[in-house]
Amino acid sequence: MTEHRSPDAHFRTSLLEENDGPGANPTDNQTMGEIIAARFSRRGFLQGSLAATAIAATVSPLALILADDARANGGSAFTFDEVEAGVDDKHHVAAGYDADVLLRWGDPLFADSPEFDPTKQSAQAQERQFGYNNDYVGYIPLDGSAEHGLLVVNHEYTNPHLMFPGLVTIVEGEAKQAPLSKEQVDVEMAAHGGTIVEIRKVSGKWQVVRDGKLNRRITSNTEMALSGPVAGHDRVKTSADPTGTKAIGTVNNCAGGVTPWGTYVMAEENIHGYFSGELPADHAEAANYKRLGIPEGAYEWAAHYDRFDIGKEPNEPNRFGWIVEVDVNDPTSVPKKRTAMGRFKHEGAESIVAKDGRVVFYLGDDERFDYVYKFVTAGKFNAEDRAANMDLLDDGTLYVAKFAEDGSIEWLPIVFGQGPLTAENGFASQADVLIETRRAADLLGATKMDRPEDIQPNPTTGKVYVMLTNNSKRKTDQVDAANPRAENAFGHIIEIVEDGGDFTAAKGKWEVLLKCGDPSVAEVGATFSTATTANGWFGMPDNCAIDSAGRLWVSTDGQGPKATGRTDGLWAVDTEGEARATSKLFFRVPIGAELCGPLFTPDDQTAFVAVQHPADGGEDWEPFGRPSYYEDLSTRWPDFKPDMPVRPSVVAITKQGGGKIAV
């Protein structure tokens, strides 16, 4: 989710990652982000949508010629002609490629689904339609095919001011959002969760199989099981579930993963926003909830459902913040919250089979000053017997990362009874340790990072890439080798190599692959290669993917006219040889959107990307002439064109005439 920017705190665009971590800067010093914002803002208003031209003008013609030469000779693994960075209300893909909208919020998923009508929304309709704010995208082949499979997509959160016509009105020049009705809250709950949908490529274009027998919607009301060490613990028992084993629904599913055995895992990230109310005085969960920012109260669900009011149902938040595993082969299967993988603001769960057959999941906790984790299964992956893998995620070891100044990394086991994780510090069992994973990691001395998002192991090179979005609150005296910039407005990417190339190793080495931001502004301190053009640099890395040739692709969240003079997009990043740290822009999204996914099909012929919250925050952009949420949606939808995705949408990128995306 974007960390930003709406001037109106009551719009749910601004807040969920604003919960300050332990090192929040109490001063009102101008941050690096604000200095840069002022710079781009001036350009933006002078140049309008030609911001990219203005940026290019800051680089000398000689530098551009040198950059071109370097790229031609530098051994880049990417040959496409890059897109021009900039800001407008359309998406743009490199020449010679098509970017086709495959699925939009509200699209029918079943034979009996109603067509999308924004003026007639209901929970019943939304439960049969594609959900809102698509984030993680995964592909699970059917019969081993790269052209016929299941697309699995997370629906992270809802923007009611963009969803419900008439919700926002202008009163004396100010935008005011009305309280949501129960029916609108029910639509929101149905718009969360995930979608599993059969898709097929026909004559080079992807199509949704609307009556696919495995098609499924998962929502905030889908019955789930709590499994692993926390299942049945007193701290997860509620009045609706005195056994502590049956959770109701999932929320804020950000990134995720597909396991080697073909299940879909969904990460529950910003869970704090869904809870309101106050705990009873001196309640035992007070410190636990404070560490996660609960309750934050951004959603109005507690007004209609007591389980989101912590005064009435104090244990309900302990049933969120987990990794959820879904067996996509059975649309009636009960999704399982895999508690062994820890409880925090989970961003993603990308995995790899280690040399000895155990499976390693890399996990980010996306908050300023929070941690990088990995989970190693106790059992081994069985490629011959899918059923034998179905409970691998209930037993294993969770580790948190400590990055040392000398370029080494240590993975610290989060195990009850070891080190400080004992009764002396309030832990009576592994269940306690997992429910309060952050506090356990605090006690172990883990390294406080600049918002860890997607973490991706690369099976071709054996390296692991960690996206660190930004951290404007890091003070000069909090800088360390792994988080080397104060007021880190643009984020960075860390590369890890585990000892012996063994993903289960307890130790490894790391280095910074890239410090992001505009390399032509000395104060930013960005480290893109000199072959990177004015279009090729980016800030705020969020999600990433590795294609089957082992190349890194990075998508971003939080750029825009003020922050970087460019919308978010998908960049191809060289990691090997002379071209290391060279980046090229492949695809960019409309104003207001972040880009999620990305995901390559096994044949590398399609890149699926998720365009999340387009038009949100468009008040930054003068050509709109007004904040996007002033717009009357009832007049906007009829104007929708496929090349102007104003609904959250999944886009399929293919090469014209066929072939691999990048050779």
Provide the binding-site residues for ligand FEO, judged by CB under 6 A.
1, 156, 254, 269, 347, 366, 453
Instruction: Kindly tell me which of 432 and 454 has the beta carbon lying closer to Ca ion.
Output: 454
Cα four-point dihedral sign 265, 106, 163, 640? positive
547 binds, among Ca ion, ligand FEO, none (CB under 5 to 8 A by kind): none
Restricted to residues 35-54, the positions that interact with Ca ion (CB under 5 A) are none
Restricted to residues 539-598, the positions that interact with Ca ion (CB under 5 A) are 542
Instruction: Kindly tell me which of 347 and 432 has the beta carbon lying closer to Ca ion.
Output: 347
Q: Using CA atoms, how far apart are residues 341 and 330, in angstroms rounded to an integer?
A: 23
316 binds, among Ca ion, ligand FEO, none (CB under 5 to 8 A by kind): none
What's the closest the beta carbon of residue 241 comes to Ca ion, in angstroms? 30
What's the closest the beta carbon of residue 595 comes to Ca ion, in angstroms? 10
Instruction: Kindly tell me which of 518 and 557 has the beta carbon lying closer to Ca ion.
Output: 557
DSSP label of 448 = P
454 binds, among Ca ion, ligand FEO, none (CB under 5 to 8 A by kind): Ca ion
Cα four-point dihedral sign 16, 22, 26, 28? negative
Residue 616 binds to Ca ion (criterion: CB under 5 A): no
Instruction: Kindly tell me which of 453 and 631 has the beta carbon lying closer to ligand FEO.
Output: 453
103 binds, among ligand FEO, Ca ion, none (CB under 5 to 8 A by kind): none
What's the closest the beta carbon of residue 344 comes to ligand FEO, in angstroms? 12
What's the closest the beta carbon of residue 352 comes to ligand FEO, in angstroms? 21
What's the closest the beta carbon of residue 159 comes to ligand FEO, in angstroms? 13
Q: Report yes or no: 355 and 346 within 8 Å, Cβ to Cβ.
A: no
Restricted to residues 235-254, the positions that interact with Ca ion (CB under 5 A) are 254
Contact segment (CB under 5 A) with Ca ion among 16-24, 31-39, 332-340, 535-543 equals 535-543
What's the closest the beta carbon of residue 92 comes to Ca ion, in angstroms? 22
487 binds, among Ca ion, ligand FEO, none (CB under 5 to 8 A by kind): none
Instruction: Kindly tell me which of 94 and 254 has the beta carbon lying closer to ligand FEO.
Output: 254
Task: Of 321, 308, 316, give the one whose Cα is nearest residue 237.
Answer: 316
Residue 454 binds to Ca ion (criterion: CB under 5 A): yes
What's the closest the beta carbon of residue 450 comes to ligand FEO, in angstroms? 12
Q: Using CA atoms, how far apart are residues 552 and 460, in angstroms rounded to an integer?
A: 11
User: Tokens 């879904």 label which residue?
Assistant: 326
Q: Report yes or no: 311 and 279 within 8 Å, Cβ to Cβ.
A: yes
135: which residues sit within 8 A by CB, 6+ positions away? 153, 154, 155, 156, 253, 254, 255, 256, 596, 610, 612
Instruction: Kindly tell me which of 2 and 121 has the beta carbon lying closer to Ca ion.
Output: 2
Cα four-point dihedral sign 227, 228, 233, 235? negative
What's the closest the beta carbon of residue 2 comes to ligand FEO, in angstroms? 8
Q: Report yes or no: 653 and 609 within 8 Å, Cβ to Cβ.
A: yes
Instruction: Kindly tell me which of 156 and 394 has the beta carbon lying closer to ligand FEO.
Output: 156
Q: Tell me the two tokens of residue 240.
A: 């609706």
Q: Tell me the two tokens of residue 230.
A: 């926390």
Instruction: Kindly tell me which of 400 and 534 has the beta carbon lying closer to ligand FEO.
Output: 400
Q: Using CA atoms, how far apart are residues 570 and 589, in angstroms rounded to an integer?
A: 9
Q: Report yes or no: 613 and 648 within 8 Å, Cβ to Cβ.
A: yes
Q: Tell me the two tokens of residue 257.
A: 């993963």
What's the closest the beta carbon of residue 313 comes to ligand FEO, in angstroms? 25
What's the closest the beta carbon of residue 453 comes to ligand FEO, in angstroms? 5
What's the closest the beta carbon of residue 269 comes to ligand FEO, in angstroms? 5
Contact segment (CB under 5 A) with Ca ion among 56-64, 72-80, 273-281, 445-453 equals 445-453
Restricted to residues 250-289, the positions that interact with Ca ion (CB under 5 A) are 254
Q: Report yes or no: 401 and 363 within 8 Å, Cβ to Cβ.
A: no
In DSSP terms, 379 is beta-bridged to none
Q: Using CA atoms, how far apart are residues 268 and 281, in angstroms rounded to an integer?
A: 28
Q: Report yes or no: 86 and 572 within 8 Å, Cβ to Cβ.
A: no
Distance of CA 533 to the CA centre of its chain: 26
Instruction: Kindly tell me which of 305 and 553 has the beta carbon lying closer to Ca ion.
Output: 553
Instruction: Kindly tell me which of 162 and 267 has the beta carbon lying closer to Ca ion.
Output: 267
Q: Using CA atoms, how far apart are residues 325 and 204, in angstroms rounded to an integer?
A: 32
State how beta strands 552-556 and 541-546 pair: antiparallel
Instruction: Kindly tell me which of 325 and 366 has the beta carbon lying closer to ligand FEO.
Output: 366
269 binds, among ligand FEO, Ca ion, none (CB under 5 to 8 A by kind): ligand FEO
Instruction: Kindly tell me which of 162 and 433 has the beta carbon lying closer to ligand FEO.
Output: 162
Residues binding Ca ion: number (CB under 5 A): 4
156 binds, among Ca ion, ligand FEO, none (CB under 5 to 8 A by kind): ligand FEO
387: which residues sit within 8 A by CB, 6+ positions away? none
Q: Report yes or no: 176 and 170 within 8 Å, Cβ to Cβ.
A: yes
What's the closest the beta carbon of residue 207 comes to ligand FEO, in angstroms? 29
User: Tokens 């869904």 label which residue?
Assistant: 274
Q: Using CA atoms, how far apart are residues 327 and 331, in angstroms rounded to an integer?
A: 8
Q: Tell me the two tokens of residue 244.
A: 């502590």
User: Where do contacts with Ca ion occur on this chain (CB under 5 A)?
Assistant: 254, 453-454, 542
